[in-house]
Amino acid sequence: MTGGLLELATGGLVLAGAFFFLAGTAGLLRFPDVYCRLHALTKADNLGLGLIALGLALQAPDWAARLQILLIWLLALAAAATVCHILARSSLEQGVPAAGVDTEVPS
């Protein structure tokens, strides 16, 4: 019986993770400028991948596999934070205009 419950929990967590990826994609398409889109793009890695990783960790055969999943999530987080910062900084340096700010950016 516990096996069935575990599978249900995995299904729920993975679906929830997929939902956040979907929402992130919607944000990527719908948000007004590069800065807002970066939010949508990078945050899917945090919560979406986190939920999927948690769901899969429940199915993992042993603790080595769980540690592996945790490590993959942490590395994805580190990459997301770094990439987000680099893209934002280079956009700012190139004077890419931001929504919600009244004045045009001087280039």
Partner 1 sequence: MRRISLVWLLVFALVWTVLAAPRFDAWVAGGLAVLLGTALHTGLGGRQGARISLRGLLGFAPFFVNQSVRGGIDVAFRALHPARPLDPGFIRYRIGLPAGPARIFFVNCISLLPGTFSAQFHDRELRVHLLTDDAEGARKLETLEEKVARLFGVRLDSSAPGGHPPSSSSPGDDAPSVSRTLPGEEDHHG
Q: Which is nearer to partner 1, 2 or 63 (CB)?
A: 63
* 55 touches partner 1 by CB under 8 A: no
Q: Which of residues 14-43 bind partner 1 (CB under 8 A)?
A: 19-20, 23-24, 26-27, 30-33, 35-36, 38-40, 42-43
Residue 28 one-letter amino acid: L
Residue whose C-alpha is closest to residue 11's, from 58, 61, 74, 62: 58
Question: How far is Cα 75 from Cα 78, in angstroms, rounded to an integer?
Answer: 5
Question: How far is Cα 52 from Cα 58, in angstroms, rounded to an integer?
Answer: 10
Tally of CB atoms within 10 A around 85: 12
- Which residues contribute to the site for partner 1 (CB under 8 A)? 19-20, 23-24, 26-27, 30-33, 35-36, 38-40, 42-43, 46-48, 50, 64, 67-68, 71-72, 75, 77-78, 80-82, 84-85, 88-89, 91-93, 95-101, 103, 105-107
